Every structure is written in C-alpha cells, then in structure tokens.
Amino acid sequence: MAAPRKSATKQAALPSTMKELKDTLWKAADKLRGSMDASQYKDVILGLVFLKYVSDAFTERREQLRTELAADGMTEDQIDQLIDDTDEYTGRGVFWVPSNARWNYLAENAKGLPAMDGEVPKNIGELIDAAMDAIMGANQTLAATLPRIFNRDSVDQRRLGELIDLFNTARFTGQGAGRARDLLGEVYEYFLEKFARAEGKRGGEFYTPAGVVRVLVEVLEPTSGRVYDPACGSGGMFVQTEKFLDAHNADRTAISVYGQELNERTWRMAKMNLAIHGLNANLAPRWGDTFARDQHPDMQADYVMANPPFNIKDWARNESDPRWRYGVPPANNANYAWIQHIISKLAPGGTAGVVMANGSMSSNSGGEGQIRAQLVEADLVSCMVALPTQLFRSTGIPVCTWFFAKDKSAGEHGAVDRTGQVLFIDARNLGYMVDRAERALSDEDIAKIAGTFHAWRGSASADGKEYNDEAGFCYSATLAEIKEADYALTPGRYVGAADVEDDGEPIEEKIARLKNELFEQLDESKRLTTVVREQLRRVS
C-alpha cells in the first residue's frame, strides 16, 4: 500500500470538554443534514463518533504500553515486537484497531488516497468502509455491527472529508480509557436524544427519555443477575443500569444483559452504544420480531425493563402461543401481548418495569379487561405509576409504568410482605417543562417515586423510612378494592384528592366571610356597570 500523504491538520493535544465535544459533533451533523435524510446522517455521524473513539482509545493505550515497556528496560526493537500484542489492548477493554482503521491514517487521507504505485485511487468513503470492515474483523463482539455506508452515492465525499477534519479536533482520551468511555458514552447518548428529537415520532422507536428509564431502574434496582429488554431500541435501559451500578459502587460484571430489537439500524446503534459503555450484551445474532421469533427462548430474567411500542395494530399474533397464559391479546392492539411476554420471561422472584400507554390501565376492548383482571388476581402487579404528560416529544399519548413481581412476600426485594396489595402512585403533577413541547423529570421527582416504592416494600434503600398513604399521590390498595373498581388500575381512582392544608378558620366563619366578599364584589360590579353606561350616554 502506498504511504499515506501528510496532512496539515493536527490533532488537538488536550482532551475536549463535554461542551466542546457536543458542539463540534453537532456541527458535523449540520454539514450533512441538507444532503441526506435524517436516519442516514444519524448512521454516518454515530459511526464516525464510534470510529474516532476506538482509535483514540487504542492510540492512548499504545502510548501507555510503550512507556511501560521502556520503563522495563526494553530496547526499541523489543518494544516493536511486543507493542502489537492484541491481549495488551483487549485485556484492558480497548478494541484492537488495525493500521488502516486508525484515525491518523484516515485524517491524513481525508481527501482520498491518490493512485500511487499502480494502485487504484480511493475516496474517503471507501477508506472508512474498509476501516469499519477491519475493526469488525479484528473484534468479534463488533461483528456485523458497524455501518458500511460511507461510499454510497448519497454521501457527499467532499463533505465527508471535511467531517474527518472537524472530528480531528475532538479527542475522547487523555484521562484514561475508562473516562474516555464515559465521555463518548455521554456524547453518544446526547446524539441519540438530538436525533430522536429531529426525527419526531420515528425517533421514539430507538430512544426513551432518560428520566423515564431512570424511574424503572431506580424502582427495580438491578444489582445482579439477568437483565432483559424485549424491545431494546438503542440500549438505553442497559446504559442506565450500568450508571446505577456505578453510582452504587456495584460490580457491573454482576449483571448479564439480554435484548432483542426489530429494526436493523436500531439494533446496530444498540450494539455500538453498549460496546462504548463496556457492556457485553447478548442482543442475539441479528435483529428480529420478538413476537414472531423470541431469540432468547429459554432465558429467564431477574429484571425486565422495557418501553415497547404502544398500541401496535399489526403484529405477529398466534392465538395458541403459550405466552398468553392470562388471555389471548386482541388482534388490533399488542399492549397486553408485550405485558404477557414480559411476565413469561420473569424468573422466580423476578421483577419488571414496563412503560405503557395510559389506556392499558383501564381498557376493556378486545378482552383486555379480562386479561388485566387475571393479572391482578394472580397477584403479579406490584405498582402502577401515572406519569406526567409531554415526557415523550415523539408522542402526545399519556404514559404510565407497570411494575410486576413474581413474589411480593418479605424477602430479597423488601422486608414488608405486600402479598395481595398494589401500590398506586399518581405522579402526573411532577416534572418541569424543558421547553414548550417537552417535560422532564428531575432527580427529586425520580427519587420521590422510587423512595415511595422502596418504603412500601421495606427495602434497604428506603433507609428505614416507613410507608404511609398520601392523599393525591400514593395509596396501597388490596386486591378486593381493585376488584370493586372493576380491575381498573388508574392511580387517580385510588389516591384521591390531595389534602388541603387547614388554615385554622372555622368553616361557618369562612362561608360567611366568603359570602360577604362575594356580595361586595357584586355591588362593586353593579356600580362600575352604572358608570360605564353613563359614560357611553355622553358619547354623541
């Protein structure tokens, strides 16, 4: 291969701040936005972010290794023989990056590789596709994951070269590979959120707002065992689980991650996202429909977290499917198919959290009411949370979260026996407006929801706080009370109205005072009406 030509562009010596990285990379997205559709430029940008990260991390580890070997007294020849030992990289959580996939090589050839020594000239798109192939070939966990779309006719090669130059100013290393991973992980999540907003309703197919995911994670507290998501999107449930483990100084290797995703592009995004976060996830060999072909048929999960697509009307329905233990879901809505699939995946003692459309809590169409009644009578429902509106920019449908437990007795998940009871939380008044179209949950909001649940269960994280019903917010109902409400699970039916603070004024005096104030206001209104009429008569 011909020697690469030198580039005038030099890579920044210092690691970028988060703001600099986000600004730089979003500018990169802007360069392509006008020349291709949103979903394609998303793949281009996220692919380049991943390529830049793995190359930076590899280069940093290579320099560390060279320093270590030199400190051991080895000569340059000896160092050259040992520095390409792949175990020295993969053993430190760093992907092996072949020479033709390293960022400096691509940066030096950002305008393409000219024909030299009889070789055919190559544009930058061909070089990036070859780099993706080389990385996938050298790292089995990335097989069939990375995008190979950079040499397509729809990709402007000049702009792509400019992107390489722009990305060359952003570094993901300089503070250790672990910090680099955290930095890129945050950038990747930021981009997923930005692209989800840009794509509107389609964006909801791969992105769940972080606050909603955190409600599931903070309530379930997955610390060990198997974690499963049957509609995993870009892997947000797993990423928040990792963050939960880190925040509690827990061993991230104590969990095993399993997921399935229908959309090929989204499946690839999830694979990259989880690789960046150092999560060795089993997302099956390829994408696929969870209803048509469960790719983890024998797996029993300790925790299930999911935000499946709402109200699917066209789905792979089989009336004899053994998953429909509590009733066959209607053909025109898959909500209760998702719920029953998730329950079928729970191991003894397992728990689950599922985001659903509000209609699922009370609908009686297509036999859904009977299925819900069976779920309640089987004592599988542990908690229902009504969430605020406008949490999802991609849909105006109000949402709730269902929590399930195979065992609500005192034990691993709490010291209080909650057999035969369901906790209802009405969180519709929580949250704050990010802008005119979107609401978000604050850390305090999430802590209030999770803390109420943990107090109810008597779990260790409740720190001894005892549960009490709170009018307008939470109520612990018996199965008999739920049956009396015809098995409707809408929290507002149970929590009642919030208590009004007593101002100390006797009710009789308050009524008399308010009556007098009303009469005074009516008299004043009458006086002002007379004045206005008089003024109007004077106008000729």
Residue 379 is predicted with a pLDDT of: 98
Judged against a pLDDT cut of 50, whether residue 270 lies above it is answered with: yes
Can you tell me the distance from the alpha carbon of 138 to that of 421, in angstroms, rounded to the nearest whole number?
53
154 or 30, which is more confident?
A: 154
Residue pLDDT, tens place only, 402-414: 999 999 999 988 9
Give the distance from CA 501 to its chain's centroid: 39
pLDDT at 17: 67
227: pLDDT strictly greater than 90: yes
pLDDT of 5: 39
Of 91-105, 270-284, 295-309, least confident by mean pLDDT is: 270-284
CA distance 216 to 197: 22
Tokens 């939380």 identify what position? 425
Check whether 180 has a pLDDT greater than 70.
Answer: no
Tell me the mean pLDDT in the region 103-111: 92
- How much is the pLDDT for 34? 67
What pLDDT is recorded for position 504?
64
Instruction: Tell me: pLDDT of 202 over 60.
Output: no
User: Are 291 and 317 in contact, with CB atoms under 8 Å apart?
Assistant: yes
* Per-residue model confidence as pLDDT tens digits over 115-133: 766 667 789 999 999 999 9
Neighbours of 453 (CB within 10 A): 26
The pLDDT assigned to 212 comes to 94
8 has a pLDDT exceeding 50 = no
Q: Is the pLDDT of residue 148 over 50?
A: yes
Is domain 206-495 in CATH 3.40.50.150, yes or no?
Answer: yes
The owner of tokens 């990036």 is 128
Residue 215 has pLDDT above 80, yes or no: yes
Q: Which residue did the predictor score with more confidence, 1 or 37?
A: 37
Number of Cβ within 10 Å of residue 54's Cβ equals 28
The residue that leads in pLDDT, 14 or 47, is: 47
Contacts (Cβ under 8 Å, ≥6 apart) of 512: none
Three-class DSSP category at 402: strand
The overall average pLDDT reported for the chain is 86
- Model confidence at 378, pLDDT cuts 50, 70, 90, reads very high
Q: Is the dihedral of CA 429, 435, 436, 440 positive or negative?
A: negative
The arithmetic mean of pLDDT across residues 23-33, rounded, is 71
Instruction: With a cut of 50, say whether residue 15 has pLDDT above it.
Output: no
Q: Are 453 and 412 in contact (CB under 8 A)?
A: no
Q: Can you tell me the distance from the alpha carbon of 351 to that of 306, in angstroms, rounded to the nearest whole number?
A: 12
Pick the CATH number of 18-190 from 3.40.50.970, 1.20.1260.30, 3.20.170.30, 1.20.1740.10: 1.20.1260.30
pLDDT at 517: 81
